[in-house]
Amino acid sequence: MARIVDWPEQDRPREKLLARGSEALTDAELLAVILGTGHAQSGLNALDLARAILSRFETLDDLGAAGIAELREIPGIGMVKAVQIKAALDLGRRMLGAGRAAGTRFRTSEDIFRHYYPRLGHLRQELFVVMLLDARNRLIRDVTISQGSLTEAVVHPREVFIPVLRESAAAIVLIHNHPSGDPSPSQSDIELTRRLQATAEVMGIRLLDHVIIGREGYASFVDRGLLKPRAGP
């Protein structure tokens, strides 16, 4: 194994990052910095190991979607390194998703997509999230309602509206992902949205949109004419 410590200092990923910034590093070099060490038994240094990991997955999104067990199938990746990779990638996604804090107003479906894609776009299971908004359509917080299978997250109206009442939200936006990548609404998505809209109207809550996120983009019920939100208070 060619040890990185024996390389010229300017070629070592960690030293390169310190001297030139992370922008100067390849994806493999950044991953090598996260790994820290290679795997002596397989004769791989940290950069070799990083390249082996990246060759296993087509994209960084695919790597981010990998579970601990899947990462550990790669020779040289034990529990500790698998957890390090998972934690680093999830932290990066959380940073992207934290770009808009409570009090921010989302003005378009594209705003919603850009905010939630880092969190939902890569998932292999459906996740159903509700944005809770005040009377001026500013974000109070979001709530994860359900996590489901590869094809469906089971959602009950009571689970949606309990946090709405608790936070005294005036309006909501529904968001979920399609692991297939195609964000087109299914018939069950349409029926669920109709049920939730009917409940919202009875309670005096405005359902502003339902946005479905996939790797191929997003679908907005409002943009597609599938939902006509009630006017403001």
Using the 3D structure, point to which of 58, 74, 96 is the last residue of a domain: 96
Residues 182-226 have pLDDT tens digits of 999 999 999 999 999 999 999 999 999 999 999 889 999 999 999
Asked if the model's pLDDT at residue 231 lies above 70, the reply is: no
Q: What CATH number is given to the structural domain containing 9? A: 1.10.150.20
Q: Establish how many alpha carbons lie within 13 A of residue 6's alpha carbon, considering only the half-sphere containing its beta carbon.
A: 4
Q: Is residue 225 part of a domain?
A: no
131 beta partners? 142, 173
Using the 3D structure, point to which of 96, 115, 131 is the last residue of a domain: 96
Residues 72-128 have pLDDT tens digits of 999 999 999 999 998 988 887 777 655 556 778 888 999 999 989 988 988 888 999
Q: How confident is the model at residue 1 (pLDDT cuts 50, 70, 90)?
A: low
In a shared domain, residues 37 and 123: no
Sign for the CA dihedral angle at 111, 112, 118, 124 comes to: negative
In a shared domain, residues 109 and 79: no
Question: In whole angstroms, what is the distance from residue 43 CA to residue 164 CA?
Answer: 55
Asked if the model's pLDDT at residue 168 lies above 80, the reply is: yes
Residue 99 contacts by C-beta under 8 Å, 6 or more apart in sequence? 115
Mean pLDDT of all residues in 43-48: 90
In a shared domain, residues 55 and 143: no
Using the 3D structure, point to which of 63, 96, 129 is the last residue of a domain: 96
Number of domains in the chain: 2
Residue 158 contacts by C-beta under 8 Å, 6 or more apart in sequence? none
Q: Which residue range(s) make up the domain with 11?
A: 4-96
Residues 124-143 have pLDDT tens digits of 889 999 999 999 999 999 99
| Distance (Å) of CA 63 to CA 40, 44, 60, 144 | 23, 20, 5, 23
